[in-house]
Structure 1
């Protein structure tokens, strides 16, 4: 492989902002959907194709069907930044995508056929013998529109717009198809590896949840116990379901919290999740304290707490019946009855067809509504 930009490449990153930013403050902005998948840099030199992750780790062996699609659909020699995703019934499904990182080739091949992945390109690093990393995004986008026109899957070119009203509409609509928000890119910015040059606008909501247990911090010792994360639950038909975790406390607060929670510690047999002790290992994704292929040997055991405490957390969106990311602690809700904390309080995004995002404006030419 001999390309103008060679691996390893650490992709350009984004910093969070609240609300759609003013393009005039950045010399113009291009808005696009924020895809919820695996960040992926594609290197193609003829038949040679390499896929690498955000952390520069190889992804090629896990996505043979994407490699085939790249050989068929993308330019002969190119380096593209984008996202791998799996869609089922008009929604992105991150959990299904995670299943692809598996050591067994036979399982990878089976899943490649059963739940094939796609690639959506949203930035250009090299084309032919030319590097584009030092060119403004406006030029990189124009080159992509010219070289990637007509893609209808499994490889796609992401939609973009310079219209803030359109971006606001996307922010609210696209979540229904499993997307993660909106990204804004300064039109004049060059491609800077591992730098937070882009802006991301993500959904944030709040929910009142029950504190059902805690895990100790990796630096916790018997002499100085420290809380690592709080295990959160919501009631569903009278049963307390595991919905996620809250973390990100200062060291001082970790020590205070673990001391404050000791009076609520109960034996697992007296806990709502005690019934899971015998069969939990068969269903690790729904149960705290069990090993799965994602835990990498970490100790995920937890200390059960009597479910008396309620706290308010901020979250971006759900994945199935759990928070997609770690929920952020907001405040204690001593005024709330734990049994009143159920799923019905969670906002459901309006459904939206994924094809309307991927293929919109396809007949109108490359990039669709690039300029609004």
Structure 2
């Protein structure tokens, strides 16, 4: 497919990655299945023609300027005219925090971070083999062979192959170990299926855990005076309440009463340790303004991933815990 620059990639840059639907348990029937770790990074399709490389996010937006070390590494490979599917991760760090730092407007900052926290492309599928032959219609087991061969011949520190297994027991062990670092679950794919761009043809399962958290503040719904989200905290080893995330799963018929309850508790610092920050380029959906409350309320929430001692995603409110003292809500729960 010829791009605006005249480069001819094996597949269009608009090709969408195959996606996954969420399930509560790993599938085992209606297979055979291949299981892989679910990486907590930036999903990426890597396109190459000659020496020209283009990295595309799941949204279709270009990622190359933020990861010059990957562009250089893929450009240097002897393999040409290929399209690979993988996840950009940074090892040795709280992966997603380090990745977010890479999406910086200043090129000098990007270059510095590319040296200090070099990224890797964890490869798990091949859409076009070196030479440009499309593999999309081939079953996964053939595409997996192509991916293994590609990484083995590349011999690049910037590339590695994602583990895979057909053993449900092994996948269960991976799932039990997920939830911190760069892995946040397991993905299941049918071995005999072709690649289905843009379709939710895979299954993803995350390890779900619960924690009792202190409500240290709240945010109003945009344009209203009703609570939109609760700001959650846990006590650190110094007895300070650190902000660890939020939950916005509040039933509409409970908002009015909950707002009144929270407004009665307004005052003080709310969080005595790490407090919620303002809006950033990564979280445009949230207002930076929040209302501190006295740390008297405890809620039990369900979460799936922890990075840098914070919930990676929003949590689900399960129930209020009037039986739990706030000082009992410590980081030991999510260690």
TM-score normalised per structure 1: 0.81
The aligned residue for residue 29 of structure 1 is: 33
The aligned residue for residue 353 of structure 1 is: none
- CA distance, structure 2, for counterparts of residue 250 and residue 332 of structure 1: 13
Query: CA contact under 8 A between 1:239 and 1:272: conserved in structure 2?
Result: no
RMSD, aligned CA: 2.2
The aligned length equals 326
The aligned residue for residue 43 of structure 1 is: 47
- CA distance, structure 2, for counterparts of residue 85 and residue 103 of structure 1: 20
Q: Deviations over 1:101-131 (max 9, x none)?
A: 0011111111111111111111121223322
Correspondent of 1:337 among 315, 325, 333: 325
The aligned residue for residue 112 of structure 1 is: 114
Q: 2:24 is paired with a residue of what secondary structure?
A: coil
Q: CA deviation at 1:32?
A: 1.0
Q: CA deviation at 1:10?
A: 2.4
Q: 1:140 is paired with a residue of what secondary structure?
A: helix
Q: CA deviation at 1:152?
A: 5.2
The answer as to 2:282 corresponding to 1:294 is yes
Correspondent of 1:320 among 297, 303, 308: 308
Distance 1:129 1:152, change over 3 A: closer
Query: CA contact under 8 A between 1:148 and 1:157: conserved in structure 2?
Result: yes
Distance 1:74 1:293, change over 3 A: farther
Q: CA deviation at 1:83?
A: 0.6
The aligned residue for residue 18 of structure 1 is: 24
Q: CA deviation at 1:40?
A: 0.8
The answer as to 2:205 corresponding to 1:217 is no
- CA distance, structure 1, for counterparts of residue 67 and residue 148 of structure 2: 25
Q: CA deviation at 1:5?
A: 1.3
The answer as to 2:133 corresponding to 1:130 is yes
Q: How does 1:43-62 map to 2 (within 5 A)?
A: 43-62=47-66
Gaps of 5+ in 2: 1-6
Q: CA deviation at 1:50?
A: 0.4
Q: CA deviation at 1:260?
A: 3.8
Query: CA contact under 8 A between 1:66 and 1:117: conserved in structure 2?
Result: yes
Query: CA contact under 8 A between 1:75 and 1:148: conserved in structure 2?
Result: no
Q: 1:130 is paired with a residue of what secondary structure?
A: coil
The aligned residue for residue 184 of structure 2 is: 180
Query: CA contact under 8 A between 1:73 and 1:155: conserved in structure 2?
Result: no
The aligned residue for residue 7 of structure 1 is: 13
Between stretches 202-211 and 169-178, larger displacement belongs to: 169-178
Gaps of 5+ in 1: 277-285, 349-372
Query: CA contact under 8 A between 1:247 and 1:326: conserved in structure 2?
Result: yes
Q: CA deviation at 1:174?
A: 5.8
Q: 1:161 is paired with a residue of what secondary structure?
A: coil
